[in-house]
Chains A and B, each alone.
Chain A
Amino acid sequence: MMLEGNFFFRTLIFPGFLFLFLLTLFCDWFERKIMARMQNRMGPSYTGPFGILQPLADYIKLLTKEDITPRHAKQFLFTITPIISFSIFMLSIFCFPIDGVNIFSNYGFEGDLLLVLALVTFAHFVLFLSGWSSSNPYSGIGAVRIVTQFIGYDIPLIISTLGPAFLARSLSLTKIASSQNIPFAILTPWTFIVFLISLQAELEEDPFDVPHAETEIVAGYGTEFSGRKLAFIRLSKDTQIIFGAALAATLFLGGPYGPIPSDPTSLWFIIYFVLKMLFVIALLELVEAVCARLRIDHIMIGNWRIIIPAALISVIITVLSSPYIKPLMEAII
């Protein structure tokens, strides 16, 4: 019974669902605040200290709004897709070693990196279905753009995760994280850059935010959603950003392991992990602030001609230089 109580506590409260939900809200606020400061604006500043409760207020407001389903929408898909996509992103974050171990209190299994990547690809397909099922021309175009963009950018993203996996000689997220005495972002910056660019595209941030380019296709696949469904769509987008940041932090920044081991370890693990995620989010936002939106054809051409070859080359460089990197990995313990 003890074990089960612990299990429920970890999945539902800490560091599971509730913690991740609050973290999502915090990151949403952090993202908006950084963006606003870069653009010479205030950003959220009224709700709570420094406006930190603004995302929560937004969600509560959305939950109270009227929930409309268009007459021609595919009812079942339209209702279920926002929840499914949110759940999948949440589930994939559960696999990360947030406090040294993953949510299920174990060190994962060999290959959970692949599981996570597969889940996310599936979640993108669910987002596509959500746009496709709402029978609106804008949503339709947005949905097609999602598929086009994600099919393309999943490839370099997965290829660039091979670098850390190869160096750590493991496909387990925990092992990859724990084998970084010096983060892979410093040892293999070329892979990190390719990874960040593909991640930017996966998260639909500028210059890759074509699937929901508001001046072209209103809100893209999310156009017809309102009320609770919109809240879930928004939430799954925010969770996706958390997921991206967690993936980058685990694969390239050493996950929960900090420069100085301190007690209590599980608390410091979480602090380090969150700090690293915030660092990744700040990087992504910086790129977003200085870029204009590209066109879908630019994005596809850029992917096949530049990003995929660059990802392949980066893996080759990592493999070739691994004899020199290996000693560095073991140098400081």
Chain B
Amino acid sequence: MKATTPEEEAIIALQGTLRDSILESKTPRPRRVYIRVKPKANKKAVSSLLKTFPATIISTITGIDVGENIEINYHFWSGKTEVTIRTEIPKSKPEIDTITDIVPGASLYEREVHDLLGVKFIGHPNLTRLLLPESWPKDSYPLMKDWNPEHVGSLDASLEETLTIGGIEKNGGSLVNVVVGPQHPALHEPERFLFKLDGEIVVDVEPRLGYAHRGIEKGAERLMFFQDVHLVERVCGICNVAHTTCFCQAVEALGNIEAPPRARYLRTIVHELNRIHSHLLLLGIAGLEIGFESLFQYIWRDREMVLDLTEKLTGNRVMAEYSTIGGVRRDLTSTLGNEIKRGLKKLKDRLNFYREVLQSDPTIELRTKNIGILSREKALKLSVVGPVARGSGVESDVRKHDPYAAYEEAPFDEILYKDGDSWARLMVRLDEVDESIDIILWAIDNIPGGPFRTRVPRRMPEGEALSRVEAPRGELIHYVRGNGTAYPERVKIRSPTLANIISFREMIRGCYVADIPAVLISLDPCFSCTDRMAFIDERTGRKWVWSMRDLKDRRRA
């Protein structure tokens, strides 16, 4: 059999080595391949995929409770197509071989599945909690279908103390542990980093996520699809448009709904406005982190222009509430189109000034050039995404390689820098703002007429869909499985920061303490994206998940 499409190529590559271990393979949509393998064959399948496509990166691992078994889905992006390798393991003995030895980037995803579903990945070097607190009771796995927040045992606060505290390391010679976070001026969201320092030099770092964990994935299962649009919007305040667009695309694919062409263009415009606002925010913060307050103040002043335009188009400054299943909520008038064009042209002039500053200011150069280097090989190995990957020269722009909305037609370049240092990561973002402005100007000129929204049923057919968008921070994935009702069976969100945070350790080793904020910010970490799942009151040990009805009751009360 000869491969004609990239999808077939992937299937044939796996069939060659696995033969009868493959139980099922299907290609429901372009660039989406699902392959079911026998329980023990998962590692072999992954390694043969890596052999055929060396630029393969792992997108995420989704664990799903399917009755007697737990289904483990490995989502890979092979450079041309999204390959999902899946296998089932029994709940009675939830064990599976780790793939971290061949795909180091899978480390955090395996820990996430372990944390929320209790799967043991045999051979994982550090299989500890990722999102849930240390005091969370053992054998209580929130993503199990029969999990009930009322029946969780009490929290054991003494377990929290297993986190290493700051101070001089025992038997560590001159090593000093310094804890950064959960509250720290350099972090704008709660997250905890344990740095091992030798004087001013960083020897190692251990991040601890989960401080902003809200249970959104579990919460999404209790809401209807159209309600979930608003829930996923709240995964992240900054890249909210990316989340809604991604979720809506997944649900549209699930229900075989086609969004009207005008809606696809409008989504592109808002998506790019959102990207500009996010990138400018980051560039400003980067200035703040390296002690350049004036740059911060100036960039944020210009960011106001984008926020105002977003407000005029969507009705909200930040939380756009724009995309919805089957289209968008508001139309673009030609007057507003002209206003956006005028505003963005003004912004473009300002950008040239900032580019000059970033390229020529000696203090910025000292603080960012050759600091926090991530080589191309390491970037691929750790499966980083977005501007972090492109700063290391890895082609990873979803808009280019897996086009959605109006990006198939839009003329734009993928920004690549080969340096791999903090400076390159900042420059990627600056140049992307430039490209985004061009995309918006093009989209406003070429927007097709017609309706901007179609009516969709609440009930979605049984099936599954995986949607990828290029969020400001990188590839964002929503995997949605429907069960024939108006409620999703499983919503899996993989935000870009979870993919990127793993590379921080690689970048920061050997750097100075003073480089920590500068390097961390070049990742553009967004921890509220990364942590999503139940409310916990640490003192009383009470746990609960709020449903929409509870929220409404509370509002009335």
Q: Which residues of A contact B (CB under 8 A)?
A: 35, 38-41, 137-138, 141, 206-207, 209-210, 213-218, 289-298
A41-B297, A137-B178 are contacts. A292–B287 as well, Cβ < 8 Å? yes
Chain A residue, CB-CB nearest to B183: A218
Q: Which interface residue of B176, B291, B363 has the most chain A CB atoms within 10 A?
A: B291
Measured between beta carbons, the chain A residues less than 8 angstroms from B167 are 137
The CA of A236 and the CA of B287, in the complex, are separated in Å by 28
Q: B294: shortest Cβ distance to chain A, in Å?
A: 5
Whether B513 contacts A216 by the Cβ 8 Å rule is yes
Neighbour of A295 across the interface among B178, B179, B288, B366, CB < 8 A? B366
Q: B369: shortest Cβ distance to chain A, in Å?
A: 12
The CA of A210 and the CA of B512, in the complex, are separated in Å by 12
Whether A292 contacts B513 by the Cβ 8 Å rule is no
Measured between beta carbons, the chain B residues less than 8 angstroms from A295 are 366-367, 512, 514-515
The CA of A209 and the CA of B288, in the complex, are separated in Å by 13
Chain A residue, CB-CB nearest to B368: A292
Whether B200 contacts A141 by the Cβ 8 Å rule is yes
The CA of A40 and the CA of B284, in the complex, are separated in Å by 14
Whether A137 contacts B512 by the Cβ 8 Å rule is no
The CA of A137 and the CA of B514, in the complex, are separated in Å by 14
Measured between beta carbons, the chain A residues less than 8 angstroms from B295 are 292
Q: List 13 A-B contacts (CB under 8 A).
A: A35-B293, A137-B167, A137-B177, A206-B293, A214-B186, A215-B185, A215-B288, A216-B517, A290-B294, A291-B291, A291-B363, A294-B363, A296-B200
Measured between beta carbons, the chain B residues less than 8 angstroms from A213 are 291, 514
Neighbour of A215 across the interface among B176, B289, B364, CB < 8 A? B289
The CA of A209 and the CA of B290, in the complex, are separated in Å by 11
Whether A215 contacts B515 by the Cβ 8 Å rule is no
Measured between beta carbons, the chain B residues less than 8 angstroms from A35 are 293
Measured between beta carbons, the chain B residues less than 8 angstroms from A138 are 178
Q: Which interface residue of A207, A209, A210 has the most chain B CB atoms within 10 A?
A: A207
Whether B185 contacts A40 by the Cβ 8 Å rule is no
The CA of A214 and the CA of B185, in the complex, are separated in Å by 6
Q: A127: shortest Cβ distance to chain B, in Å?
A: 19
Whether A292 contacts B200 by the Cβ 8 Å rule is no
The CA of A296 and the CA of B512, in the complex, are separated in Å by 9
Whether B291 contacts A206 by the Cβ 8 Å rule is yes
Q: A296: shortest Cβ distance to chain B, in Å?
A: 6
Chain B residue, CB-CB nearest to A41: B297
Whether A292 contacts B367 by the Cβ 8 Å rule is yes
Measured between beta carbons, the chain B residues less than 8 angstroms from A41 are 297
Neighbour of A294 across the interface among B177, B186, B298, B366, CB < 8 A? B366
Whether B512 contacts A293 by the Cβ 8 Å rule is no
Measured between beta carbons, the chain A residues less than 8 angstroms from B366 are 292, 294-295, 298
Whether B20 sits at the interface, judged by CB under 8 Å, is no
Neighbour of A39 across the interface among B186, B297, B514, CB < 8 A? B297
Whether B301 contacts A40 by the Cβ 8 Å rule is yes
Measured between beta carbons, the chain B residues less than 8 angstroms from A218 are 184-185
The CA of A209 and the CA of B293, in the complex, are separated in Å by 12
Whether B147 sits at the interface, judged by CB under 8 Å, is no
Whether A40 contacts B287 by the Cβ 8 Å rule is no
The CA of A210 and the CA of B290, in the complex, are separated in Å by 10
The CA of A293 and the CA of B289, in the complex, are separated in Å by 9
Whether B292 sits at the interface, judged by CB under 8 Å, is yes
Neighbour of B517 across the interface among A215, A294, A297, A298, CB < 8 A? A215
The CA of A39 and the CA of B287, in the complex, are separated in Å by 13
